[in-house]
């Protein structure tokens, strides 16, 4: 454990504190747990940003149909970031809040922003979160103390400048809403997050290079202080024609690849797409559509494994054979 501490890159005063914990004869298991955490955090590790608008546009177009206004906003942000990095000045990005109904592509868009910038991507789900300690961690005075979700995800990313998705920040438990919103105010404020202190680490970690992106279904339950730090972008609902294009050009090829099927294993007649898009009536997003296509692909995979064919063409006559049962 002592060797691990010596070889790790740490702030000097934190290293001294850890050495004191070891010599003080604290509970060995707790000391080892603490040292494991501090030595595995990316105190000085960052990924290099890809500051290329052409690359960013290609990634956004590759993963998302339409959304031209949103894409332009993201490219404008990247343009300012490029100019600031050319002058070696620090640019605090506007924190995007993607507002939209379930299944409208909020999480996927956040992932695409991370990919376009060449940054690591991690997600913190806020749905049902019942305590601010889930974000900020517990004091080491508690036997089973752990760092909070912020530090856990920084470690998972392995870099101090990832894209962190704060997912569904409007869906925290009512009893903890004010405390969680208080932590969010600190997280999203560039004047404060350079010294974010997790209760478990009890030492500030610089989050100023993190690009935070938040999502919500609506803004009603988000405090005014948090909204002041966010730039809301509304995710559009999709009509049937848009869904057909998304399903045919984006979702189906992706699911065929995920299932390790040959590209030619499954073709779908243009005439049956309306039935695939709306098996259960209308919904604003594409999540139900994705599940439907996943079901079709799995049924195709089963037929191939059973030796009943190598290529399948879905028409109005055999569609029911492939549609998943709801």
DSSP 66-90: S-HHHHHHHHHHHHHHHHHHHTT--
Cα–Cα distance, 258 to 26 (Å, whole number): 49
User: What integer pLDDT is reported at residue 26 of this predicted model?
Assistant: 65
pLDDT higher than threshold 60 for residue 326: no
Using an 8 Å Cβ cutoff, are 19 and 29 in contact? no
Extract the tokens encoding 91. 């640019």
Q: Please indicate, yes or no, whether residues 93 and 229 belong to a single structural domain of this protein.
A: yes
Q: Please indicate, yes or no, whether residues 284 and 252 belong to a single structural domain of this protein.
A: yes
pLDDT: which is higher, 312 or 22: 312
Cα–Cα distance, 326 to 320 (Å, whole number): 12
Banded pLDDT at 225 (limits 50, 70, 90): very high
Banded pLDDT at 232 (limits 50, 70, 90): very high
Rounded alpha-carbon distances, angstroms, from residue 54 to 77, 214, 312: 14, 25, 37
User: What integer pLDDT is reported at residue 282 of this predicted model?
Assistant: 55
User: What integer pLDDT is reported at residue 93 of this predicted model?
Assistant: 65
- The per-residue b/e assignment along 141-150, b for 16 or more CB within 10 angstroms, e otherwise, is eeeebbbbbb
- What's the whole-number mean pLDDT along residues 87-111? 81
Residue 130's CATH number = 3.40.50.300
Residue 45 included in any domain: no
Using an 8 Å Cβ cutoff, are 53 and 92 in contact? no
Q: What is the model's pTM?
A: 0.81
Using an 8 Å Cβ cutoff, are 118 and 48 in contact? yes
Q: Please indicate, yes or no, whether residues 181 and 215 belong to a single structural domain of this protein.
A: yes
Using an 8 Å Cβ cutoff, are 304 and 265 in contact? yes
* Percentage of the chain modeled with pLDDT above 90: 56
Q: Which residue range forms the structural domain that includes residue 107?
A: 53-234
Q: Please indicate, yes or no, whether residues 282 and 263 belong to a single structural domain of this protein.
A: yes
Residue 317's CATH number = 1.10.8.60
């Amino acid at each position: 454990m002592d060797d691990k501490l010596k070889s790790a890159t740490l702030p000097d005063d934190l290293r001294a504190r850890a050495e004191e914990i070891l010599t003080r004869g604290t509970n060995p298991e707790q000391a080892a747990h603490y040292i494991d955490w501090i030595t595995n955090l990316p105190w000085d590790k960052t990924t290099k940003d890809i500051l290329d608008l052409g690359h960013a546009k290609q990634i956004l177009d590759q993963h998302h149909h339409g959304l031209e206004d949103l894409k332009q906003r993201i490219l404008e942000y990247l343009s300012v970031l490029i100019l600031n990095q050319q002058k070696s000045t620090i640019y605090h990005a506007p924190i995007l809040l993607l507002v939209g109904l379930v299944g409208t592509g909020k999480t996927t868009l956040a992932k695409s922003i991370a990919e376009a910038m060449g940054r690591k991507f991690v997600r913190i789900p806020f749905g049902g979160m019942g305590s601010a300690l889930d974000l900020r961690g517990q004091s080491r005075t508690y036997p089973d103390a752990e760092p909070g979700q912020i530090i856990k995800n920084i470690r998972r990313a392995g870099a101090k400048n990832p894209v962190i998705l704060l997912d569904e920040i409007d869906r925290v438990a009512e009893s903890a809403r004010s405390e969680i919103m208080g932590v969010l105010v600190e997280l999203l404020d560039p004047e404060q997050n350079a010294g974010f202190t997790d209760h478990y680490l009890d030492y500030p970690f610089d989050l100023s290079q993190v690009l935070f992106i938040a999502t919500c279904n609506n803004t009603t339950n988000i405090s005014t202080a948090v909204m002041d730090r966010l730039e809301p972008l509304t995710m559009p609902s999709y009509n049937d024609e848009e869904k057909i294009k998304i399903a045919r050009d984006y979702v189906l090829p992706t699911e065929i690849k995920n299932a390790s099927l040959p590209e030619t294993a499954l073709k779908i007649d243009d005439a049956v797409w309306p039935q695939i898009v709306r098996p259960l009536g209308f919904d604003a997003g594409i999540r139900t559509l994705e599940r439907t296509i996943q079901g079709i692909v799995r049924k195709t995979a089963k037929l191939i494994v059973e030796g009943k064919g190598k290529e399948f063409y879905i028409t109005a006559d055999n569609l029911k054979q492939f549609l998943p049962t709801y």
